[in-house]
Every structure is written in structure tokens, then in C-alpha cells.
Structure 1
Amino acid sequence: MEHYDVPVMTFLFDLELTVDQPYHLGVTPKGNRRIIHVKDGYFRGSLLNGTVIPGGDDWVTVLGDGTIVQDARILLKSYDGALIAMTYRGIRTGNSDVLKQLERNEEVHLDEYYFTTQPVFETSSNKYDWLNKRIFVAQGRRLPGKVNYSIYTVGE
């Protein structure tokens, strides 16, 4: 079987979200759930810049070992006025001590845990229509009261 070249990843933008304390829904039939409200934020890149409209949420499932599975929906507004829906699913995991530090809202060095998401964008903007037609990945970082992502386009 022939292997293809490794896909190129191109930086899209950095995203910073300011978040509230989580609402702990508790253990439901779907798992140990909590909901984290996104208060605001911004994104910066060479092709796309703007703010995060307050009101998005991350519906987190916490697995038995402390790993979190994200299901987030937020709304972006570019500086030129385009509205862009952003959803993403992701995983944050690491050893139990690191996960406990993150749970206590402590800063942990990025190389001590895995935090990757797959953003999907949706917009009616002709200028940013290409966002509807690409695959993206993001490297996340949890900070006290904030979450940062560096988002990349996969392929050219």
C-alpha cells in the first residue's frame, strides 16, 4: 500500500475564551456532565480576526479517569461583521495528578497533558465560505478562567 505525504497544517488563528465556573449537572445516563458557559473572547490570525459573542457553552462529559470529552458551540464575529458558528469536539487527558490540577483551575504546562479539538465552522459569508469547506484541528491549553486554542487548517 502506498503512503501519501503527511498533510500540511497551516495556522488559522489563536482563540482565547473567558469561561465561567462550571455547572455540575452530575452523573446522568450519558455520563458525568458539566456545562461551562463562555463569557467572551477573541481570535487573531493573518486571515481572520474578531470577537466571541457571549453565550456559547461547552457540554463536557467527564470520564471515570478524569478525561474530559468536549462538545462546544460558540459564535464568532469577524471584525468585518461576518457571523461564524464554531462547534468543536475534543479530548483533554493526562495523568491523574495533572488532571486534578486542571480541575482545581491551576495552570499546568502544555506538554504535561493532551488537549486537542476538531473545530467545524459554518457561515453564510461569501468572503469566509472557505471555512465551510475545510478540516481544522486545534491544540488547546487550559488556564485559570480561560481556554486558549491554536487552530490550524489541514491541507492546502
Structure 2
Amino acid sequence: MRYPTPPALEFVASIEVEVSETITIGTTAQGMRRVAPIRGGTVSGPGISGRVLDAGADFQRYPSEDLGLLEANYVLELHDGHRILVENRAMRVATAQDLASMMAGEHVDPRRVYFRCVPSLSADESGPYAWMNRMLFLGTGERRPEGVRIDVFRVK
């Protein structure tokens, strides 16, 4: 049997997101809930560079000790003044001990963590980044003590 060729990925940018102190809501019916306010950062890649605005948050849900479900919404302001809305859904899987260490702000070797995401990028339809409105993106993530790094790829 011949299998179809999987789609290719093309690197778009790395987003370094800075967060301030995480707000713990507590254990809810959906699991442990936390909110990490997004306070800035940078974006860089071929043909795209700029900063992460102090606008947005990462809403975190931990339904089990080894699983984190994340929903981050924030804004990029690019070098040319155009703005991109990022709506990112992610999954972070690690041992209970490693997830607890990350939640405490400690460094955990990213090779021990499955951190994948599906960012949606929205741009002004009349601007040079309108192509983002008609593309699917995938990403990999790395939690760092000061924030998160997301590498974004376009699905070709």
C-alpha cells in the first residue's frame, strides 16, 4: 500500500514570550487552573521581526499531573508597524515531577517535555501579512523560567 506524502513544514519565526508571575486560581472541576500574564518579548524569523506587546495571557489547565493544556492570546507588533493576533493552543506533557518543576519556575530539560502547539495568526486583510489568515501553523515550545519560546512553522 502506498501512503500519501505528509505536508512539509516551513519555519516562520521564533517567538520569545516574557511572562510575569503566574496567578494560581486553584483546583477546579477542570483541574488546576493558572493564568500567566504576557508582558513582552520578541519575534524573529526570515522576513518577520518585532516585539510581543504587553497585552494578553496564557490560560493554563492541568487536568492531570502529567498534562498541561494551554491557551495563549497575545499581539505581535512587527518592525513595520503591522500587528498580528496570536491565538495559540498547546499541549505540554511531562512527568508529574517535571511539570511541577516548570510550574514552580524551574528549568526542565526540554527534551523531557512534549510541548506542541497550533498557533492561529491573524493579520489585517489589506496588509502584507494577510497570507497568514489563510495558512495553518504548527509549533514547538520550550518553557523557560522567564517565559516561553515558540518556534512557528507554516504547513505547506
Give the structure-1-normalised TM-score.
0.93
- The 1-side partners of 2:47 and 2:119 are apart by 17
Partner of 2:147: 146
The number of residues matched between the two structures is 155
Counterpart CA distance in 1 for 2:98 and 2:27 is 22
Q: Write out per-residue CA displacement over residues 30-61 of structure 1, whole angstroms, 9 at most, x where no aligned residue.
A: 43211110010110001211111102101111
Identical aligned residues as a percent: 25
User: Which deviates more, 58-67 or 38-47?
Assistant: 58-67
Matches for 1:11-30 after TM superposition, within 5 Å: 11-30=11-30
Q: Which residue of 2 aligns with 1:109?
A: 109
Paired residue secondary structure (1:63): strand
Gaps of 5+ in 2: none
Structure-2 residue corresponding to 1:68: 68
1:1-156 superposed matches below 5 A: 3-124=3-124, 125-155=126-156
Greater shift, 131-140 or 64-73, is seen at 64-73
Two-structure CA RMSD over aligned residues (Å): 1.4
Q: Which runs of 4+ in 1 moved over 4 A?
A: none
Deviations 1:126-145 (A, max 9, x none): 20001001111111001111
For 2:131, what is the secondary structure of its paired residue? helix
Larger deviation, residues 79-88 vs 56-65:
56-65
